[in-house]
Amino acid sequence: MDYYKNKTVLITGASSGIGESFAITLDKLGAKLILTARSKDKLEKMASKMNNAISIPGDLSDKKFPQQLYDSIKEKNIDVDILINNAGFGFSGLFLDSSMKNYNEMMNLNVFSLVALTHLFLNDMVTKKNGGIINISSLASFQPMPFFSIYAASKAFVTSFTASIYEEYRKLGIKVLGVCPGYTKTNFNKRAQMDSIPVAGYLMSSQEVVDQSLKAYQSGKFLIVNGKINKFLRFITSVIPTKLSLAFSSSVIKRGITNKQW
């Protein structure tokens, strides 16, 4: 994939899971990378092993950080070709089982930082009529999810927002892709307090998600659901009545929750 050679890519949440796989893969493809996440040491170690990468650590749930990140990239005279809004986290359990502090952090990271970074970098891309954005959403974005309520709602925002800006900016030469993985083997489940569901062939690797995403971005798609089982689940939940889909997702999530408090 020569397409990514020499492209400058900013990856949020680059220190683990899907973001780390994006970084390793794009480095191999000859891209120039800007890595961000909170884990400063991990990012520095990753960047030092790569061909052309820098790290700018920070907390994207701090509403000031997207602008600081943008300013620090501009100060270095770097022009971003592709923004990958990947950082995100979830919480599984009853809505009242977690604090507003945790939900604010989640909404700031999953929604606010993604919109703020898109607003900052898309503006430059439109000026030069080139560039694009990959937003990592989730299979959870397609229906309400009891016991995963704030996370699913935050990802519903991401999928909807991403599809809208795809349509608004595609004629200006800007690519916009939303990526909707299902269960993927990363640190996500640990922070979300969930076990993965033991269905053969269901749990995907972050490498598979990344390979599919880079291919889809290059070919100009606006949305992908990763994997055949996830595509099937999305189809089923879109055709059955909402009450049935609520009961289905509720039973699936409940079985996976590690911290059961009811």
Ligand X SMILES: NC(=O)c1ccc[n+]([C@@H]2O[C@H](COP(=O)([O-])OP(=O)(O)OC[C@H]3O[C@@H](n4cnc5c(N)ncnc54)[C@H](OP(=O)(O)O)[C@@H]3O)[C@@H](O)[C@H]2O)c1
Chain contacts with ligand X (rule: CB under 6 A): 13-19, 37-39, 59-61, 86-89, 109, 136, 138, 181, 183-184, 186-188, 191, 206
- Among 164, 185, 134, smallest CA distance to 4 is for 134
CB of 244 to ligand X, least distance (A): 22
Q: Which of 4, 70, 151, 166 is catalytic?
A: 151
The C-alpha atoms of residue 19 and residue 3 are separated, in whole angstroms, by 19
CB of 94 to ligand X, least distance (A): 20
- Among 217, 220, 214, 184, smallest CA distance to 202 is for 184
Does the annotation count 151 as an active-site position?
yes
CA angle 136, 46, 16 (to 5 degrees): 35
The C-alpha atoms of residue 10 and residue 25 are separated, in whole angstroms, by 13
**Backbone torsions φ then ψ of 210, nearest 5 degrees:** -65, -45
CB of 151 to ligand X, least distance (A): 7
Matching residue, tokens 């704030």: 150
Residues forming the active site: 151
